Structure 1
Amino acid sequence: MTDATPPGAITWQVADVVAAWAESSTARTLRLHLPEPWTYLPGQHVDVRLTAPDGYQAQRSYSIGSSPADEGSIELTIQRLADGEVSPYLCDVLEVGDQIELRGPIGGYFVWRGERPVLLVGGGSGLVPLMSILRHLRRTAPDAPVRMIASVRTPGDLLYSGELGDDARLIYTRAGPPGWAEPPRRLRPEDIAAAAFDEGPAYVCGPTGFVDRAADLLLAAGYPADQILTERFGPT
């Protein structure tokens, strides 16, 4: 299967939930075992489909957060949306031992193919595909230069807080943790300047407004347009 395979050509399969944990105050990570494993690239996503007893179906796309080196399973981090059809079930109802339908991998643009150095810029749940890139880079090219800018509303909204380490520069837009030196703010040109490389791609993922602002700042900092890869999250 290639990374550009269209969704219509991909077969649905039933995956087992083998682990689940809270990733933040509003998000949950699911580890899924695939009965028919496939290879994928960091940055790709899957479709998840739920079917109600009356036959009604709801389908949503979720980025893969794990490294492709984790053979036989994938991890999805789901941000709970209060008015969502799928995320409340995945976050609050689904249990270890349950099964869900999914198909993938999907996407051939917002993927990491080994380029380096790498700048990752994420807002909110936009950190999920960036974490797949970061995890895979750490496992396959641990000496490769990588930097991340992570923008979230509050500390309780930060995903993967125990894994980001020194690679990440954190920005809080509403409230920082106790003793945080900076006031709440948006992404600034200085943040891009401090993290930018002289070459290599920048991957930007998050809400549309955040992505547009980050892309504009990267262009102003000298990044070529074809080296700025973006993916936007928004209401369905």
Structure 2
Amino acid sequence: MSVVLHDPSGAALPFEAGQFFTLVLRIGKKEIKRAYSASSPSHETNEVRLTIKEVPGGQASPFVVRDLSAGYELEVLGPSGNFTVAKGTKRIILLGGGSGITPLMSIARTLLAKGGGERIDLVFGNRSEKDIIFQADLEKLSAEHGELFKVRHVLEEGSSVASRTGRLDQATVLAELDAIGAFDGDESHFFVCGPLGMMDEAKAALASRGISGSRMKEERFVSLADNQTGAEESTEAQEVGIIILGKKKSIYVRPGQTILEAGLDDGLEMPNSCTVGGCGTCRVKLVSGQVSMAEPNCLDSDERAQGYILACSSKPLSPCVVEVE
């Protein structure tokens, strides 16, 4: 299902292909924030199309899918995220699973419409053919753009449209990428988005061929939406020292507040965007103390090992000091 956003004032809604927006939903007496990728091309700034898959038992996605209707007004934050294609990139490999196709679709639509001559290959994993989001659109784009846009489906349940049957695990990712010559030369840039397990397998496959850093980007927020486990909370206010540009300001974080919420309430300039643990804009380094952070979120294992936390998702369990970098 897609939700189309328009600014009531008629203003443009600029964003970069691959970015996402955060919807502020008021469901009953609760305010819930959820991040959703744009699936529309970025040059169509008169509207933004967010493609959303309902998560059974979730809080937000059932409300969006079933209860939102034309004319509904809601607060929107963003755009957010760095899952974007750098200018001059000529070979683009998109690795997607399930609803992770959404930002990849925006990237493909945008680049193909601009006609810059980039070669784009999509390897898309799903359970079955009926689960393929955008199947008709993908077939149309492939037919229209020939060698510039190729799609390979990997399905757990066999189908005539599948190039391979099975899960999109490390071995399958390597086999699919070898089949399209993705590792020939050093021009390919890889974009990975999907369920956490699939992304870990894809990243391991790429790492085994020496692909990392500037040639690989990942977008993890699609797994946050309705399955996030909230942070543990202290029963009393905790003092948190926040270092910004070398100067420390002490604030008190009340039970139930995140470090970001308390900092903003105190007037501190703390970078933030999605506020749901999906973009990394609010990343800070934990200098001392203990916090509880909602999971899953966009931090990778290297960032965690270096002591980074997300201010929007972290609640102090003891007096703490964090540094805004």
TM-score (norm 2): 0.59
**In the aligned structure 1, how far is the partner of 2:60 from the partner of 2:36?**
11
Gaps of 5+ in 2: 143-149, 229-325
Q: CA RMSD in A?
A: 2.0
**Is the Cα–Cα contact under 8 Å of residues 121 and 149 in structure 1 kept in the other structure?**
yes
Per-residue CA distance 1:196-219 (angstroms, 9 max, x = gap)? 153131000011111111111122
**Is the Cα–Cα contact under 8 Å of residues 192 and 221 in structure 1 kept in the other structure?**
no
Deviation at 1:159, TM superposition (A): 0.9
Q: State yes or no: 1:92 paired with 2:66.
A: yes
Q: State yes or no: 1:149 paired with 2:142.
A: no
Corresponding residue of 1:177: 159
Secondary structure in 2 matching 1:215: helix
Counterpart among 220, 225, 236 of residue 208 in structure 2: 220
Secondary structure in 2 matching 1:202: strand
Q: 1:68 to 1:218 in 2, by over 3 A?
A: same
User: Which structure would you say has the larger Rg?
Assistant: 2
The letter for the 1-side match of 2:151 is A
Counterpart among 197, 211, 217 of residue 229 in structure 1: 217
Secondary structure in 2 matching 1:186: coil
Counterpart among 178, 181, 205 of residue 193 in structure 1: 178
Per-residue CA distance 1:134-173 (angstroms, 9 max, x = gap)? 0001111353211000001111211110121342100012
Deviation at 1:97, TM superposition (A): 2.9
**In the aligned structure 2, how far is the partner of 1:123 from the partner of 1:75?**
19
Q: State yes or no: 1:119 paired with 2:93.
A: yes
Deviation at 1:225, TM superposition (A): 3.4
**Is the Cα–Cα contact under 8 Å of residues 120 and 204 in structure 1 kept in the other structure?**
yes
**Is the Cα–Cα contact under 8 Å of residues 37 and 103 in structure 2 kept in the other structure?**
yes
Q: 1:147 to 1:46 in 2, by over 3 A?
A: same
Once the two structures are superposed, the pairs formed by residues 21-32 of structure 1 within 5 Å of their partners are: 28-32=1-5
Secondary structure in 1 matching 2:207: helix
Q: State yes or no: 1:104 paired with 2:78.
A: yes
The letter for the 2-side match of 1:191 is E
The letter for the 2-side match of 1:105 is P
The higher relative CO (CA closer than 8 Å, separation ≥ 6) is in 1
**Is the Cα–Cα contact under 8 Å of residues 192 and 218 in structure 1 kept in the other structure?**
no
Counterpart among 196, 208, 218 of residue 208 in structure 1: 196
**In the aligned structure 2, how far is the partner of 1:223 from the partner of 1:180?**
26
Identity over aligned pairs, percent: 28
Per-residue CA distance 1:56-109 (angstroms, 9 max, x = gap)? 2111111111111112100001110111111001111212232332121112x2
Deviation at 1:224, TM superposition (A): 4.1
How many pairs does the alignment contain?
A: 206
Secondary structure in 2 matching 1:46: strand
Corresponding residue of 1:38: 13
Gaps of 5+ in 1: 1-27
Counterpart among 35, 47, 56 of residue 73 in structure 1: 47
Corresponding residue of 2:257: none
**In the aligned structure 1, how far is the partner of 2:189 from the partner of 2:121?**
11
**Is the Cα–Cα contact under 8 Å of residues 3 and 51 in structure 2 kept in the other structure?**
yes
TM-score (norm 1): 0.80
